[in-house]
Structure 1
Amino acid sequence: MQAPSFGGVKIPSGNNQTIRLSRGASLSDFGDKIGVNPASLVQVMMHLGEMATATQSLPDETLQLLGDELKYKVEVVSPEDEDRELLESFSIEFGEDSGSEQDLRPRPPVVTVMGHVDHGKTKLLDSIRNSNVVSGEAGGITQHIGAYQVGTVVDEEDRKITFIDTPGHEAFTAMRARGAQATDIAVLVVAADDGVKPQTAEAIDHAKAAEVPIVVALNKIDVEGADPQRVRAQLTEYGVVAEALGGDVQVVEISALRGENLDGLLEAVVLTSDAALDLRANPDMDAQGLAIEAYLDRGRGSMATVLVQRGLLRVGDSIVCGDAYGRVRAMLDEHGKNVQEAEPSRPVQVLGLTNVPSAGDSFLVVKDDRVARQIAQQREARERFAQQAKSSRRVTLDNWQRTLEEGERNELLLLIKGDMSGSVEALEESLQKIDAGGDEVGIRVIGRGVGAITQNDINLAASADAIIVGFNVRPEGKNSQLADRMGVDIRYYSVIYQAIDEVEAAVKGLLKPIYEEVQLGSAEIREVFKVPKIGNVAGSIVRTGIIRRNAKARLIREGVVISENLNVESLRRFKDDATEVRDGYECGIGLGYNDLRVGDVIETYEMREKPRD
């Protein structure tokens, strides 16, 4: 059979032979599999109307398209399958208990508390935690590690429950986006005087999507206007039917503020666990589990809170967690005390990892540091290639109309973050009212919240292919770079109608050339000086980029925009006027704005015209 020719390049037919490629593979990887020069495949791609370099990570669809053209069956290996194959190559079984049925022992349930803002989630967690502190513990809880274990007595038997203290539903979703299933039971906190709110409904959706049983904590029963029966009736509309109304969901009336009936809530959690779940694990195997949260401590390095799901984790074990690895140098419990080992369902803080893992990353104990390093490095490379391929196809407000025309989606997904809950609700309501031009397309808000744009928001947007709308808020820390790396489109607005107009234009395909905001730099205020006839001047150090005189600026305090549309009116290095100051240098910045505080961030930018695709 004669080899087919593509623009003069002859490549042998694959005769429907199957080849396996990793997600995010390049033309070089494809060429290696079929024994063809990658440069030839570049010409084939041009023949197909696609521009790609030999080393560029490609989306699954492009690999399939190329395979069809060359008569190959392309099988794209998912990250999960690739990880499983990687671990199998080291003779490691992950995600299941090794040993026989007799080796399994009961383990405590793992609980996540969810619900609407201001309904008492944090107060409930604090009350449970403080009421279960060991008597005589100096100062009570000395350390917050994102999870803790409490004890209770049910039917004269001592039982334990592990609580995961997440900062909202976003962390829960970030874990699920990574395929992590940390939670056994969801406790839904609902205020008896307020009833079911949007975030309550969202929490119910999250719990049902995770397929975990729900226990309802009916809080604030001591508040004037509390009507528990009305709330029970409301919950039935969302498929949460209380036992008193013929359902199977336990509803416990409590007062987190006064600490009333907390024992009843803990008992309901244990009884729900016993009735609906068979929670057992093998405590005699090498430990496996999840990272719940992690951060970098300047003195002690990477601090990761992990939840042991099976096996026994010991000090001195070699572990790999996501793309981080190391030896467990020490383990701390929620009281800041050193522990030598952690059994299933036990949360501990681990010291000794090479870098900071992400929430939801799986961890496992391996035989030595060399194996841990190899697994971590291969995971990191695989994740990098997969993200490059994913970001090349990520939906933005600019290309949404094109993806709609290609039949890829009929819904624009948005995640809204704002400086005030009223602003977020108003913006969401306005966006939902946009006439998308019939029933063919729609707008759906998959998340909303108050405060700076967090890593969890970016994770949620990435997993759902959503666009983040920031109203008077900015990303915290290095999350702007994370969004760029993951290909998540973040749009910033200070006026509601601008956001409405742009989203409406995107939905209707009317996007015209716009001015794009280009970041110049940021500076942290170290000191504030009062200058006669001028006002307050910010003694600052430039943290990133460049600060330029006459550039546009905004003032940010704790991730929230305090003032927009400012200008760098004066810029000085010591006593001399400066045109610009680069990162690492100190300078005095005058904005013509007097409400300056130490720790505030001045962000400078300029507007450049950007034609739309």
Structure 2
Amino acid sequence: MQAPSVGGVMLPRGNGETIRLSRGASLTDFAEKINANPASLVAVMMNLGEMVTATQSVSDETLQLLAEEMNYNVQIVSPEEEDRELLESFDIEFGEDQGSEEDLVVRPPVVTVMGHVDHGKTRLLDAIRKTNVVAGEAGGITQHIGAYQVTTEVNGEERAITFIDTPGHEAFTAMRARGAKSTDIAILVVAANDGVMPQTVEALNHAKAADVPIVVAVNKIDVEGADPTKVRGQLTEYGLVAEEYGGDTMFVDISAKQGLNIDSLLEAVILTADATLDLRANPKQAAQGIAIESRLDRGRGAVATVLVQRGTLRVGDTMVVGDAYGRVRAMLDDSGKNVTEAGPSMPVQVLGLTNVPGAGDNFIVVDEDRTARQIAEKRAARERNAAFAKRARRVSLEDLDKVLKAGEVQQLNLIIKGDASGSVEALESSLLQLDVGEEVDIRVLHRGVGAVTESDIDLAMGSDAIVIGFNVRAAGRAQQMAEREGVDVRYYSVIYQAIEEIEAALKGMLKPEYEEVELGTAEIREIFKSSKLGNIAGVVIRSGEVRRNAKARLIRDGKVVAENLTIDGLRRFKDDVTEIREGFEGGINLGNFNDIKVGDIIATYELREKPRV
């Protein structure tokens, strides 16, 4: 049915039908769904106060606004649903075990260690793996995710457990949440001397949201002030009731530093898995899983740590990981040894990808290189459109002229390079959340894994950007180029420092804010005429002090009759002075302004810059 819309533009009107659109869709995509001319939708958006082109990726809010105006409902397809539909178009089922019940075999549980910062998560993994991870961490903070597999003996049987080591800093919340979703069991580490802390509750909520069983490791039982009973009581408030109190959560008192009761903790994990979970997978199908971490290695190229969730990954397989793809050239286990295949729940490092995938991207094995490339390219295009829509600034007709004026919206451009995709993602997320008001915008022009390169410096030169190197440095000529061109390259190894310095830089870009501070008032008692200076006011200072060159306004009968005046001359008797205090008399000259009367009040003030908080 054709019906006039806003501004007389003719276009189809809906009857409340639901239209499914992907993130970052354009008005052309919308028009195709309703058999309309994209130009007419552009006109409708202009009438609604939005300047949008037909092919521009627009935000979800803009699509909702347009749909509401035209009596449609818009359903924005989630990234997971988009990906499932994409894979279905290639006849690929992701997330399900194929084959019969007989094909399923028991697989090791995948465990995430969670808890408050500095409660001993890394030291616990250190005690489990008998390797020193803490020594390599800047500031004692785990900077990116790793995955490790260990074995333990339970009831005379060797059992394997896979650990995902999630960072503890609050900036990595998104990564930790994603880690929980790929997890079978969560170990919640709580220090016996500190008890439940904010990030303990946060980690607990992530585990509950992922619907995974929890085993509580009460750490630091060997330190002064340790009270494991108190920890049990505190966690009862959050629904974790210890078995000894009649609940179903296993609590194990440990000391990661002393290596006490580590075996008991591993046994608790296995027992919890056996009691509450059916952990089986088909090792015979094409491998599927998730990327835990990825980085760019100078000698080996893109290296991704992947966790095989079902199937068996083999050297020579063609795989797609997020928007990266390639043939598996080599695989390394968590100890750095070459392996030829990896079964369910086994973490391995994979070499041979075209580029560095993101932490949390899923991976699949496909039959042909061409299929892998097509899936990767469609995923990349989808993410690019979504990013454009997210980054686009919504501009209404009312404030379009303001935005176009240079300097109205100041912007700090950043280029972020790091040693691992998870670290870069977490740093970018933290920086984009900095709140320093509407006057300054922060924009990440580029982010990537690996050393700062000459192309990064080129981009920084063209956009006046600051380059951030997180656990990486500028490579060779890039450093010389940065010094020669004056590009600011900053290096960090701890995320706190990067966030604090960028926040300071943002505040420095804000235009100064001034507040008016009253100095003093003077009442005009007499007026003297001067052929050289004009009218001179004979005054008595009523409050404060009056200074030469101070700003002033003239008040008559309680109303301001003149603004932006200046105390050009200030005299006491025959002497020129710089200030006159309360209770004293003097003469004031207001420059070229001569419209003064007896009884007028001269109020003086100065503008002081307000410090940013």
Q: Give yes or no for TM over 0.5.
A: yes
Give the 3 Å change call, closer, same or farther, for CA 172–183 of structure 1 in structure 2: farther
Kindly indicate whether residue 513 of structure 2 is the aligned counterpart of residue 543 of structure 1: no
Deviations 1:164-207 (CA, angstroms, capped at 9, x unpaired) = 12222668743576698211111111222222222222222222
Residue 413 of structure 2 is matched in structure 1 by none
TM-superposed deviation, 1:561: 5.1
Judged with a 3 Å threshold, the aligned counterparts in structure 2 of structure 1 residues 69 and 346 are, in CA distance, closer, same or farther, namely: same
Q: Report the counterpart of residue 20 of structure 1 in structure 2.
A: 20
Residue 359 of structure 1 aligns to a residue whose secondary structure is coil
* CA pair 198-333 structure 1, distance change in 2 beyond 3 A: same
Cα 1:350/1:170, change in 2 over 3 Å: farther
Q: Is the 8 A contact 1:521 1:547 kept in 2?
A: no
Tell me the amino acid that sits aligned with residue 486 of structure 2.
I
State the Cα distance separating 1:70 from its structure 2 match: 3.6
Distance 2:200 2:468 in 1: 39
1:115 alignment counterpart: 115
Maintained 8 Å contact 1:112/1:163:
yes
CA–CA distance in structure 2, aligned partners of residues 178 and 222 of structure 1: 33
Distance 1:236 1:544, change over 3 A: farther
Give the letter for the 1:468 counterpart: L
Instruction: Report the 3-state secondary structure (helix = DSSP H, G, I; strand = E; otherwise coil) of the residue aligned with 2:238.
Output: coil
The corresponding residue for 1:246 is: 246
Equivalent residue runs for 1:81-480 within 5 Å: 81-130=81-130, 146-168=146-168, 173-175=173-175, 181-392=181-392, 455-456=425-426, 458-459=428-429, 467-468=433-434, 480=444
Q: What number of residue pairs does the alignment pair up?
A: 446
Rate the CA distance shift 1:456–1:274 in 2: closer, same or farther, 3 A: same
Residues 52 and 124 of structure 1: CA distance in aligned 2, closer, same or farther (over 3 Å): same
Alpha-carbon distance between aligned partners in 2 of 1:371 and 1:347, rounded to the nearest angstrom:
25
Q: Is residue 609 of structure 1 aligned with residue 511 of structure 2? A: yes
Q: Which amino acid aligns with 2:39?
A: A
**2: distance between equivalents of 1:100 and 1:107?**
16
Please tell me whether the aligned partners of residues 110 and 161 of structure 2 are also in contact (alpha carbons under 8 angstroms): yes
TM superposition shift of 1:27: 1.1
Tell me if structure 2 keeps the 8 A contact 1:109–1:345: yes
Corresponding residue number in structure 2 for 1:45: 45
The structure with the larger Rg is 2
* Cα 1:461/1:249, change in 2 over 3 Å: farther
Cα distance change on mapping 1:60 and 1:161 into 2, 3 Å: same
Residues 173 and 460 in structure 1, CA contact (< 8 A), matched pair in contact too: no
- Does structure 2 retain, via aligned residues, the 8 Å contact 1:520–1:545? no
* Aligned equivalents of 2:276, 2:468: Cα separation in 1: 54
Indicate how the Cα distance of structure 1 residues 610 and 379 shifts in structure 2: closer, same or farther if over 3 A, else same.
farther
Q: Distance in 1 between matches of 2:391 and 2:485?
A: 28
Deviation, structure 1 residue 253 = 1.5
Deviates more, 1:4-13 or 1:99-108: 4-13
Amino acid at match of 1:98: Q
Q: Indicate the larger mover: 306-315 or 274-283.
A: 274-283
* Deviation per residue, 1:134-163 (Å, 9 max, x gap): xxxxxxxxxx98111111111111111001
Of 83-92 and 223-232, deviating more is 223-232
Does the CA-based 8 Å contact 1:314-1:340 persist in structure 2?
yes
Instruction: Name the CA distance, whole Å, in 1 between partners of 2:106 and 2:467.
Output: 53
Deviation (angstroms), 1:35: 3.9
Shift of 1:364: 0.5
Q: 1:494-545 deviations in whole A, cap 9, x for unaligned? A: xxxxxxxxxxxxxxxxxxxxxxxx9665699xxxxxxxxxxxxxxx745399
- Structure 1 residues 171 and 113, CA, compared in 2 at 3 Å: closer, same or farther? farther
The Cα shift of 1:362 comes to: 0.4
3-state SS in 1 of match to 2:221: coil
| 1:388 to 1:119, Cα distance in 2 relative to 1, 3 A | same
SS in 2 for 1:7: helix
Secondary structure of the structure 1 residue equivalent to 2:211: coil
- Whether contact under 8 Å (2:115, 2:188) holds in the other structure is yes
Q: 1:192-245, CA deviations, whole angstroms, 9 ceiling, x for partnerless residues?
A: 222222222222222222221111112222223322222222222232211112
Q: Distance in 1 between matches of 2:357 and 2:423?
A: 19
**Change over 3 Å in CA distance of 1:522–1:222 after alignment to 2:** closer
When residues 355 and 544 of structure 1 are mapped into structure 2, their CA distance, relative to the original with a 3 A threshold, is farther
> Using the alignment, how far apart are the partners of 2:188 and 2:235 within structure 1?
11
**Relative to structure 1, is the Cα distance of residues 461 and 288 closer, same or farther in structure 2, using a 3 angstrom cutoff?**
farther
Distance 2:184 2:169 in 1: 15
CA distance in 1, matches of 2:236, 2:129: 30
Normalising by structure 2, report the TM-score: 0.65
1:311 Cα deviation (Å)?
A: 0.6
CA distance, structure 2, for counterparts of residue 384 and residue 131 of structure 1: 40
Partners of 1:522 and 1:544 within 8 A in 2? no
Identity between Structure 1 and Structure 2 (%): 64
Displacement of 1:562 after TM fit? 10
Matched, 1:66 2:66: yes
Change beyond 3 A, Cα 1:69–1:198 = closer
8 Å Cα contact 1:521/1:603 also seen in 2: no
1:603 Cα deviation after fit = 8.8
Distance (Å, rounded) in 2 between the aligned partners of 1:563 and 1:317? 41
Q: Tell me which residue corresponds to 1:447.
A: none
Cα distance, 1:458–1:239 mapped onto 2, change above 3 Å: farther
Gaps of 5+ in 2: 133-143, 400-421, 437-441, 449-462, 470-478, 514-613
Distance 1:150 1:236 in 2: 30
Contact 1:174/1:359 (<8 A) preserved: no
Q: Alpha carbons of 1:349 and 1:145: their partners in 2 closer, same or farther (altered >3 Å)? A: farther
SS of aligned partner of 1:308:
strand
Q: Distance in 1 between matches of 2:443 and 2:482?
A: 15
